[in-house]
Structures are given as structure tokens and as C-alpha cells.
Structure 1
């Protein structure tokens, strides 16, 4: 056996072991939620990861030809879904000491000191007698740091005004009653940051986007319609930063999720009175510290 080849194989094996170890937290986060990961085509009462090709986004020549193309690969990896119920609106869930995804990541980082994982979470806040939150978690890829996409990097680090002018959702009803399809259409795109009140929480290794669906009467009405037949509804949602300049094209989804015929009763109850960690202001170098209440 050639020693050089053996050495390279050994190094490659070690690299794979480190990669797998660094990703263990994500498997834990995906499997630990009350809403389970299910099959993309046959699953129910759970979530799945729809391929980017199912979403049409602004292509390289959009501003001159108005052409949209299939989105392609996501910028981030899926890292789980939480379906939560509470006695009050849940804000800034990533700062809660009981947030299972951040706890899994922190435990991993204690083992892997070189980890540079970044989390983007979208928290859809559902109003009502009981308050619900559907929280979608996405994490940076090991071989693609968060600054590898300039537009996403700007979105994460710029002002709330910039974020609200760019935060976009594309959605598609895969299954659902005709009345819902008639009300919202089979496929739609919307600047969530302009249509609804969105609040942004920037931590040392995360950005959380809280979307207050109750801030729009139209959105609340559509939501009530959807929840009335939620066990019969399957919907795809893709999240992205809208490209508004030629050099920002083509658009890329940073994360997407398919919610499959969900049951309201599958939500985990969370006490809104549980204290959150205080996130100290970002320093000029972009680092923060956290401390418990």
C-alpha cells in the first residue's frame, strides 16, 4: 500500500469524523421538536424540506426580461421546527434558556471549539385565545460560512429598516380545500417585512425574525380560514432576501419548509413567563455576550 495514499485516506477520514461530529447537534434539533419530520410526499402532522426547484424566484435577467427561475439549492440547512402554544405571544424564542435548538448547538460548540455555526429562525406568531408560534430553524453550512452570500450577510447585519424592505416569503398550497386556494391562490410571493410587523433579534450567532400575523387584518382572516381546515392543508413556504438590484440576482432561498396537514393539538405548551437570556448590544466587532435574568 502506498503510504501517501494511506495518509491522505486517514486525513480524509478524520475530516469526515469532525464534520459528522459538528453536525450531530442538527440531527438532535431536527428530531427533538413536537412537530416531527415526515416524508415529503406522504407525511402528515409534521414538516418536511421541499426542494428549492419548487419555488420560482427572480432569475439573472429579471429586471430586463422579468424571467423567474426555479430557486435551486437553499443557502442554509434545515435545523428543525417547533410548534408551540403559550398563554401570551412568544417573542425572541432563541434567547429562552429552554430553547432546545440553541441548547443543542451550545452543547456541540462546547465539544467542537472551532464551530462557527449561525442560526436564522423565522417565528410565525399566530394570534388567538391561545397564542401559537411556528418556529422554523435554519443553520449555516459547514463549507459555506454565513458571509458567503453577500445579500444574506447584509440582511443579517444591516438595520431593521433594511431587513423589513427585503424579507420575503414565497408560498404554495400543495393540498387544501378550494375555498382556501381561491382566497390566497396556489402560489404567491409577499414582502413580509412590509405586509406585517416583523421584529428582528440579533444575537452573537443568530438572527431571529418574529412575524406578528395579528398585525394584519387580512392575514389574520386568511389564517383563520386555513386553521379551520388545518388537518387538510399542506403548504410550502420559502424564505429569502429580495433582490432589488441587478448585481443581487439571482435570488436564493435561505430556507424552506413544508407543513403537512398539521394538528393543533401537537403543539408543545411553553410558559411565556419563563425568563429569557439578556442579549447585550453588539460590539463593533460583531460579538455579543449573554447572561441569565
Structure 2
């Protein structure tokens, strides 16, 4: 009967037969099965499939069998990174696997087989499992991992009772991946490793708990989507961190050479050099990133388009006359005038992503600000960096940081000097931001507007300052309205050109006309191009 056909699990031995059986089940080529995969939903870039009956079975057989659920999604990461995270049984696994509590390897029973103990939680209880885990690696770097329950939990040589779960990871090349860097101004997508990841769960006739139609099935689908989405973010974060550490090592080494030529040692000044991690079997280092001492993680370009100059996923500094500020007689006539040239020059922009909010980035030794101050003729007392860190919260936190340099010393009695050396109350009442959508849909232009905003009155702002820099951290998540607007804009960000300027509001005659601190323009920003921030210390 059907139940006997399902009990093929009990004859599995401790060899690759478990993996091959899992592969056959995923592909629905297993003899004796009367089910097929049907697409159930598409959520968070993950496809969910469920088993459906090809023919109606008697009620007694339906009760003894259990339906499987399969999740399929793309992860832009190296197969080795995914393999390391899936095989990990330490506490770090709970970062992306919400059901995992703890685990350990009990015994190795073969080159590709082992017994493991795992403690897992679900919405109803906490359970301990002794499982047999088998895996196999493909020649192209892909792999398959299968887990099966063991009949006798007290026996290290017990037979597997039922297929518990499994993952199949294979290399994948999306058709849209391209490199258009040969065409000036065309979008450039770096060819990152990509894998098609398939996770199957609850495909055993007995064991952990049976799936019931309705809420329990919906809950299991949600867990699968959540787990695969979290794994995707965690693996891609690891790739970004590895690439960032490699770039930081190159940049800091170059900065040390410059400092050594001028008789200064970077280590004597409290700077620390970071070597690339050797934990992964790969290292990423784009030759263009060696100039990031001057440009940051987001490349410099030009918009409108000019031949031979990048015009997408880049930054530049627009003319200050495009913004209108309070004129000399504003207190009498209320007229605004073109702003003119700003006080500071935009020299770099960073586009970061992390799993927590990124504060005081300028103090990080491997960051753009410290590298700039460490460079040739930039560590003098006349150099001062003014940075604005706009923080966008979410499942992954984004930060876009604008770095401005003031070549001339700041007069302590000037409006900018009083802002830098003043208290937070004065700063919150004076720092002003003027946005402008230079290119984009009309609905986005209306949502953003061009009205000046006193940042400290609408949002939570944190200030970090030292002798040679000042960083302004603007938390967009502190305002529901601002957060909704920014989230709305992010949906169109690839099609937008966004201008921004920062200034200190003038309220007295001696503080007018207003002067811009700096301007910025970001054209056709790609969210996927964000990289991990430099390490804190």
C-alpha cells in the first residue's frame, strides 16, 4: 500500500544513499510517490511549493503520510559561504534560523556522514533531536545536505527513520547579470557568485510533528520563507564583509606607505591595519576600489551624462546656485537668493549596509574619514571633515554618508564654528537640509518636495566630533512620516537623481546671507551595491 511505499526511508544506510534519495525527492523522480510539487505562493523573492496528491487516497493512508514543503530562492553569495552557514551548529546559526537553539556533532560515521544533536523550538514546544546528516559536494561547488531522524536516539548506529529536512544548492547564472562597464555611463553590475537554494521540510511519515491543513501549514510556510530570506541576507552580508576587509587592507597598506614616506608611522598614531580574513576560500578585490581613499565605497561620476564618465550608481557635487537660501535682507523682505558656492568640498560618499545601525563611522580606523586624514598633506591642522550619515532602518540597515572637507580653518566665532563647538540644543535648532529630486517620477518629486527641513526638530540627530572631524548621524527611523517617505523613495531609487544640501540656518542679520556647507547628488543608486561598513576597532 501507499504507507509501505513511503517507508523507503527505513532502508537508508549511512552512505550517500540518503543524499541521492533526497535529490530524487526534490526532483519528484522517486518511484512509488503519488504526489507532485505545486507552486503555493511567491513571497520575499522566495517560491514556496507544496506537495499535492495526484490521486485521492483512503483516509487511513492520508493520516499516516505527511506532506512536504519546498522553498526555492536565489542567494548572491559563494557556495562555500552558504555551506559553512548551513553546516554550522554553534550559536551564530540562530542569527538566521529562528527555530535553532543549540547543536553539536555526536559522532562522525563516515567521510560525509555524521550524527548530530539539535535543540529546536517551535511556537508550541522545545524539542531535542538526534539526526543523521549526510552531504555531498558537486564539481562546480554546489552541494546537497540531507537530515534524517534516527530510530533509536540512544544508539549511535541506529537506522534513519524519516527524512527530516534538506538543502540543495547549485550554481546559477541569472540572465540579467551583465557588465556594461565598457559603455561609458551605462549601468555596471558586478558579476557576483549566485546560487539557487532549495530547502525542503516536513517530508517524513513520522517524527517531529505532522502538518495539518490550515494554520499549521501556513505557519510552516512562513517559517520556511523567513529562514531562507534570513540565510540570504546573512550570506550576502558575509560576502560584503569579506570584500570590504580585503579592500580595507589594500587601502590601509597604501596609506601606511604614504605616511612612512613622510616620516610618520600609522601605528604610532593609533591606526590599526586589518588583514583580509582567510576563513573563506575566496578573496574579492576590485581594482577600481584601490582609489576608494578619495571616493569612498560609492564611485564618483557625473550627471547629466558626459561621454567617458560614469553617470549611474554614482555621486557628484551639483552647483550651489540650484538651491535658494535666505538672502542678506531676508529678515525685512523675506526673499531668498541662489546659494552660490558651498564652504566645503564633497570628496567621498559611502553606501553601507549592516544588520545594525551604523553610528560614528568617522572614528573607525579603516573608514574613509580616517584614511583621508592619514593621506598626503591631509593630516595637517587645517583639514576638517564634516560628514553627514543618513541612516535608513529596516531588516538590513542602510547608511549613505557624505564627506565634506573644509580646507580653511573654521573660525570659532562664525556660524559654522558655533555649530561645531556648540551644544546639541543649538545644533538641533539650526542644522538645515534642502532636498530636491532632479530626475524622477512626478509622484516622488511631490512626496520629497523642496522645502527646507530643520533636521533636529523632525528627526533624532546624534553628533560625534573630534579635533579633525564632525559626524552628524540622522536617524530616519525616528520619524514615522520620514521613514515612510524614504521607504517609498527607495522603491524608485534606481530611476532617481537626488540632490541634497546642508547649511546652518541664519536667524540674525550678522548670520545672513546663509552659506551652504556642501551639496551632493546621487544618480540612479543601486541598493545591491551597498557594502559592509569598516570594522569598529
Secondary structure of 2:402's match? strand
Q: Per-residue CA shift, 1:114-146, capped at 9, x if unaligned?
A: 4420110000001111111100000112xx322
Match of 1:275 in 2: 536
CA contact (8 A) 1:75 1:254 kept: yes
The change in CA–CA distance for 1:114 and 1:229 in structure 2 (over 3 A counts) is closer
Distance 2:326 2:455 in 1: 17
Which stretches in structure 1 are left out of the alignment for 5+ residues? 1-20, 22-26, 277-293
How far 1:34 sits from its partner (Å)?
2.3
- Structure 1 CA distance for aligned equivalents of residues 370 and 291 of structure 2: 11
CA contact (8 A) 1:76 1:255 kept: yes
SS at 1:135's partner residue?
A: strand
Off by >6 Å, runs of 4+ in structure 1: none
More helix by share: 1
- Distance, in Å, in 2 between the alignment partners of 1:261 and 1:30 is 22
Q: How does 1:138-287 map to 2 (within 5 A)?
A: 138-141=404-407, 144-147=408-411, 150-185=414-449, 187-270=450-533, 274-276=535-537
Q: Count the aligned residue pairs.
A: 244
Q: Does 2:335 align with 1:67?
A: yes
Tell me which residue corresponds to 1:50. 318
Aligned to 1:4: none
Separation (CA, whole Å) in 1 of partners of 2:382 and 2:292: 17
Post-superposition offset of 1:159: 0.4
CA change 1:148–1:154 in 2 (3 A) is: closer
Query: Aligned partners of 2:488, 2:463: CA distance in 1, in Å?
Result: 27
Which secondary structure does the structure 1 equivalent of 2:451 belong to? strand
1:121 to 376, 387, 400: 387
Q: CA RMSD in A?
A: 2.0
Separation in 2 of the partners of 1:108 and 1:81?
A: 20
Aligned residues of 2:412 and 2:418 also touching (Cα < 8 A): no
Pair 1:114–1:212, CA change in 2 (3 A): closer
- Cα distance, 1:157 vs. partner? 0.5
Contact 1:56/1:71 (8 A) holds in 2:
yes
Aligned-partner Cα distance in 1 for 2:379–2:499: 36
Report the CA distance shift for 1:113/1:93 in structure 2 as closer, same or farther (over 3 A): closer
Partner of 1:8 in structure 2?
Answer: none
Question: Is the contact between residue 170 and residue 188 of structure 1 (CA under 8 Å) also seen in structure 2?
Answer: yes
CA spacing shift, 1:113–1:124, aligned 2, 3 Å? closer
Would the aligned equivalents of 2:438 and 2:498 in 1 still touch at CA under 8 Å? yes
| CA distance 1:113–1:199, shift in 2 (3 Å) | closer
Unaligned runs of 5+ in 2: 1-261, 263-289, 306-310
Give the Cα–Cα distance (whole angstroms) in 2 for the partners of residues 214 and 123 of structure 1: 13
Secondary structure of 1:251's match? Answer: coil
Match of 1:80 among 319, 334, 348: 348
**Deviation at residue 218 of structure 1 after TM alignment:** 0.5
1:101 equivalent in alignment to 2:365 = no
Q: What is the TM-score of this pair, normalised by structure 2?
A: 0.44
